[in-house]
Structure 1
Amino acid sequence: MNELTIPELVARAANEFPDAEAVVDGDVRITYAELREQVREATGAFAGAGVEPGDRIAIWAPNGLRWIVTVLGALGAGATLVPLNTRYKGDEARWPLSRSGAKILFVEDGFLGIDYPAMLGVDGSGVPGLPALRTVVTFNGPARPGVISWDDFTAAAVSPDEADARAAAVRPETVADILFTSGTTGRPKGAVVTHEQNVLTYRAWTGRTGVRAGDRYLIVNPMFHTFGYKAGVLACVMRGATMVLQRTFDVPETLRLIEQEKITVLPGPPTVYTALLHAPGRDEHDLSSLRLAVTGAGDVPVALVRRIKDELFPQVVTAYGLTESSGTVTACSVDDDDETIATTSGRPIPDVEVAIVDGEGGPVPAGTDGRILVRGYNVMKGYLDDPEATAEAVRDGWLDTGDRGRLDERGNLTITGRTKEMFVVGGFNVYPAEVENALARHDAVAESGVVGVPDARMGEVGRAYVRLRPGRTATQEELVAHCRERLANFKVPREVVFVDDLPKTASGKIWRVKLKERL
């Protein structure tokens, strides 16, 4: 397997597994040979639309066949993918669209009852505040002012030979995607990753986890996230596995798909497996096809791993990664024991280094807690148009992950904390500063501090400590509703605690560590 670009992976899969099912999306089933033809048409459509190599295209839509075809087609045209979280509100989506200068945006009409173009104020004259965005394409709706249909988009495709020439021109060093990840400032930054980085990283990931040809992989992780896009779509194309798509996680539907489609691989956050284990009527479904679970979290209870293995999956592995590392740093293997899988995130993937350092940057002994640094081909090229943030994050080739952990004598990594104070809600990263910025826009809020608190179902949820302005009043329900209008649901705090004062650091910043101590 010598391919180093994603178009080469698509061609290889079509040549090696032409008649194997590539995608199952509801009632639609296509083979790898058919997928290549649809991707070729999409590549031609991008060329016909005037998209040049290096241009950015954005997609704001749920898991679906057209998501896959659009993304692989764009990559074949030499364009760069900018995926958007489907839970984003208009202002949240506007930032990555503006920052990346995306030329075309793809949406699905009506997903979750949302009119995505309307949230951006799209009309016949364009998209307010986004001068680079010249076209909005709907996957499933009719053309309307400011929006064209999928059929209109593909109608202008260049010839298949011209599309093939575009795909052949993509180089390993061509930028494949820019995934935006929030930080302590609350403003998302775009992590720039190339074709070669993605191919090498997920060749290593599939080799370690054991995803293989013939697997039937249920992609329930959202494809706007590295877990769904890279460890899902790219991993399946690389190995010739079948992608069975689920738009959102719904336990009865997941159980139905496992039984009907003979699912063998189902990655997800621990909350997915907890929900399946406790699902009413689980015993009424034939789940015997399940083979492999892949999950990631700071610490998965040993009892949960054993129960997953006893009741659902013969093989369970854990892994660790972040957007800035192409999504993967370490992974266990199926041969590791239950305790290793449950209490560590495994060893670095081949040719990637992990170092644990103290506050001064010096190495610490095995078993000692410290900052996690990563060096290797998986480390992003940098943050989009942000050399200062890049220089702060990557020094001498070492990526400072912002996480804390320790390595054992065998090189297994255990995550012990997050320097950046991020918390994870149902598998999605939440950065306190972003929620605090939303709260600050409420007239009654003087200041706030947001932390993650344990939750049995979601792993963690947000709790906001809020100090009100003198003479102003607000209720928990009011502030939660205020956030819900401005933030994706997973970022909205589940609880608001009103306080007279908030702990501060010497520099006057909210001291979230002290807030955590109140739990």
Structure 2
Amino acid sequence: MNHDCPIREGARQTPDAEALRFLEQTWTFRMLDAEVARWTEALVARGVGQGDRVALLSTSHPSVTFLFWALGRVGAVFAPLNARLTSAELRPLVDAVEPKLTLALGSLRERLTGAEALEAFTQGMVATSVPERAWDAETPRVILFTSGTTGRPKGAVLTEGAFRASCQGSAANLGRHAAPRWLGTLPLFHVGGLAMLTRTAYEGGCLLLHERFDAEAVNRAIDVDGATHASFVATTLERVLDARHDRTLPVTFECALIGGGPVPTALLTRARAAGLRALQTYGLTEACSQATTERPQEADGRTAGPPLPGLEVRVVGADGAPLGAGHEGDVEVRGPTVMVGYWNQPDATREAFHDGWLRTRDVGVLDARGRLTLLSRRTDLIVRGGENLYPAEIEAVLANHPAIAESAVVGVPDSHWGEVPVAFVVLRSGHSLPEDLDAWCRQSLARFKVPTRFVEIETLPRNAMSKVERSVLRRDAMSHPMYQSGS
């Protein structure tokens, strides 16, 4: 199936509708279309065409959106690089995609040898009529590198069709909105950020782009700029509520998608009291963001919801056979949002698929209503005396303790049990390490699941994609003095 550029469509159908906002600047669809045309002309002048890769190092900036849509018009592939990476980490990624062109935001150019300044790329360029090209749904659109928590980063190749299917599935789940105004606080080198950029364009909405997350700015966007949708994790949701002092949200705000792990029950209750409908999700880069999401009318905060319409999610055993409801196993995803493979890594691509299903390497369980509960990444699984322990289950219990802001549980070697769980906890302001954590856990967890130690830590170590670096915590746990609850 072929498509037209959604920005061009918007310029024809709703030319004066707001399409992009950044700081005090706004672009209507007509203005955005003209800007994208200039960037398209600049790419053509540089010889960038069908199948070429363009690497970019940038934080979220309007120029990133202009470049993204212009690349689609010439059939080139967008390869955004994580702006938090060092020069040493970036170089092998650039080498892997072999870009025709490399651009970087001025403040980041020193990290990327040979990169041209993003802000100056179209200087002196006047838009002319570049021949229109139909957008094939199967054409590679983006190469997004995974975070590399389990090894060398791999470039997931996502198509135009994958982004459109993701938008359609999410809209079908949330209910269609005439012109959604998505709050764009996730970086545009992240699949979540690109999901918001694309779905606002496909649905004729507006992207309220922020360079980084700021709770005060988020609340201004909700109260003043008419934001209707947003994506948060538990910690950013809490910061938004804290900053607004639990003031009720305007009725124009529809919902927030919550990813990144379990959300404390008290936080969900607090959000509901403020009129903020929070829907838990499960997603991954290789599936173009969301794979499952709670349905608005059924959300209870207990699961990550059922598959998005158009997608299938199943749980399989060690032999690859599907398991029934209530049985723990490996999560697999199938549908039009799934990547076509890893860039120039055929072996990794073959390993990632099983009979057409994407192997996520995550562990979960489906309930009788088809709703997914994510238990762990396979590499995070703790095996204690033959029993499987899932960090997410323990972290969900700790998340509900009033003194704990966030936690991470890792397994460390033990001569008797093989492995035992150790919990690292970040405390809320004004709290000291509670003496009742052991007892708190025992109220909800079997004895063998209760951490053997609780270690206070100022902040959890995270990689460039903000995922907890459990390998660092494991090393710390093995060298940390023993701590017994209440000592």
TM over 0.5: yes
Maintained 8 Å contact 1:346/1:413:
yes
Q: Distance in 2 between matches of 1:241 and 1:223?
A: 17
Query: How far apart are residue 280 of structure 1 and its match?
Result: 6.6
Q: Distance in 1 between matches of 2:150 and 2:184?
A: 32
String of CA shifts for 1:6-25, please: whole Å, max 9, x gaps.
Answer: x4322222223221111111
- Give the equivalent residue in structure 2 for 1:15: 12
CA 260–10 in structure 1, closer or farther in 2 if over 3 Å, else same? same
- Give the equivalent residue in structure 1 for 2:84: 87
Confirm or deny that 1:138 pairs with 2:118.
yes
1:365 is aligned, of 324, 344, 355, to 324
- Give the equivalent residue in structure 2 for 1:267: 231
Query: How far apart are residue 344 of structure 1 and its match?
Result: 1.2
- The one-letter amino acid of 1:26's match is L
CA 369–488 in structure 1, closer or farther in 2 if over 3 Å, else same? closer
- Give the equivalent residue in structure 1 for 2:287: 325
Maintained 8 Å contact 1:221/1:228:
yes
String of CA shifts for 1:101-130, please: whole Å, max 9, x gaps.
Answer: 1222222223xxxxx22123x3xxxx3xxx
Maintained 8 Å contact 1:356/1:369:
yes
The residue correspondences of 1:233-252 to structure 2 (distance < 5 A) are 233-252=197-216
Query: How far apart are residue 290 of structure 1 and its match?
Result: 2.5
Per the normalisation by structure 2, the TM-score is 0.77
- Give the equivalent residue in structure 2 for 1:143: none
Alignment RMSD (CA, Å): 3.1
String of CA shifts for 1:314-353, please: whole Å, max 9, x gaps.
Answer: x33222111111222112221114x2xx121111122321
Q: Distance in 1 between matches of 2:214 and 2:103?
A: 25
Q: Distance in 1 between matches of 2:51 and 2:422?
A: 38
CA 487–365 in structure 1, closer or farther in 2 if over 3 Å, else same? closer
2:312 is aligned, of 353, 359, 363, to 353
CA 451–381 in structure 1, closer or farther in 2 if over 3 Å, else same? farther
Q: Distance in 2 between matches of 1:488 and 1:318?
A: 19
CA 18–84 in structure 1, closer or farther in 2 if over 3 Å, else same? same
- The one-letter amino acid of 1:239's match is E
- Give the equivalent residue in structure 2 for 1:203: 168
String of CA shifts for 1:472-500, please: whole Å, max 9, x gaps.
Answer: xxxxxxxx9xx99x968877758973747
Maintained 8 Å contact 2:191/2:285:
yes
The total of aligned residue pairs comes to: 413
- Give the equivalent residue in structure 1 for 2:399: none
String of CA shifts for 1:71-99, please: whole Å, max 9, x gaps.
Answer: 11111110101111111111122122110
1:329 counterpart SS class? strand
Maintained 8 Å contact 1:298/1:414:
no
- Give the equivalent residue in structure 2 for 1:257: 221
- Give the equivalent residue in structure 2 for 1:390: 349
CA 409–329 in structure 1, closer or farther in 2 if over 3 Å, else same? same
- Give the equivalent residue in structure 2 for 1:447: none
Q: Distance in 1 between matches of 2:478 and 2:294?
A: 43
CA 97–451 in structure 1, closer or farther in 2 if over 3 Å, else same? farther
String of CA shifts for 1:212-239, please: whole Å, max 9, x gaps.
Answer: 2333322111111111111x11111111
Confirm or deny that 1:298 pairs with 2:261.
yes
CA 61–96 in structure 1, closer or farther in 2 if over 3 Å, else same? same
The residue correspondences of 1:298-447 to structure 2 (distance < 5 A) are 298-313=261-276, 315-337=277-299, 339=300, 342-421=301-380
Maintained 8 Å contact 2:42/2:121:
no
Maintained 8 Å contact 1:209/1:317:
no
- The one-letter amino acid of 1:387's match is P
Greater CA drift, 292-301 or 241-250 = 292-301
2:83 counterpart SS class? coil
Q: Distance in 2 between matches of 1:286 and 1:302?
A: 19
- Give the equivalent residue in structure 1 for 2:121: 150
Query: How far apart are residue 60 of structure 1 and its match?
Result: 1.4
Query: How far apart are residue 4 of structure 1 and its match?
Result: 5.0
Q: Distance in 2 between matches of 1:236 and 1:498?
A: 44
Query: How far apart are residue 266 of structure 1 and its match?
Result: 1.9
- The one-letter amino acid of 2:111's match is M
- Give the equivalent residue in structure 2 for 1:32: 29
Maintained 8 Å contact 2:82/2:464:
no
String of CA shifts for 1:401-424, please: whole Å, max 9, x gaps.
Answer: 011111111111111111133999
Q: Distance in 2 between matches of 1:353 and 1:495?
A: 34
1:106 counterpart SS class? strand
- The one-letter amino acid of 1:293's match is A
Maintained 8 Å contact 2:170/2:309:
no
1:414 counterpart SS class? strand
2:139 is aligned, of 168, 174, 183, to 174
CA 278–455 in structure 1, closer or farther in 2 if over 3 Å, else same? same
CA 452–421 in structure 1, closer or farther in 2 if over 3 Å, else same? farther
Confirm or deny that 1:159 pairs with 2:128.
yes
Maintained 8 Å contact 1:212/1:240:
no
Maintained 8 Å contact 1:87/1:489:
no
- The one-letter amino acid of 2:288's match is S
- The one-letter amino acid of 1:258's match is I
CA 222–324 in structure 1, closer or farther in 2 if over 3 Å, else same? same
Structure 2 alignment gaps of length 5 or more: 382-390, 396-407, 411-420, 429-458, 481-487
Query: How far apart are residue 190 of structure 1 and its match?
Result: 0.5
Q: Distance in 2 between matches of 1:397 and 1:188?
A: 22
Confirm or deny that 1:228 pairs with 2:193.
yes
Q: Distance in 2 between matches of 1:489 and 1:409?
A: 33
CA 302–381 in structure 1, closer or farther in 2 if over 3 Å, else same? same
Q: Distance in 2 between matches of 1:355 and 1:241?
A: 33
1:371 counterpart SS class? strand
1:497 is aligned, of 473, 476, 482, to 476
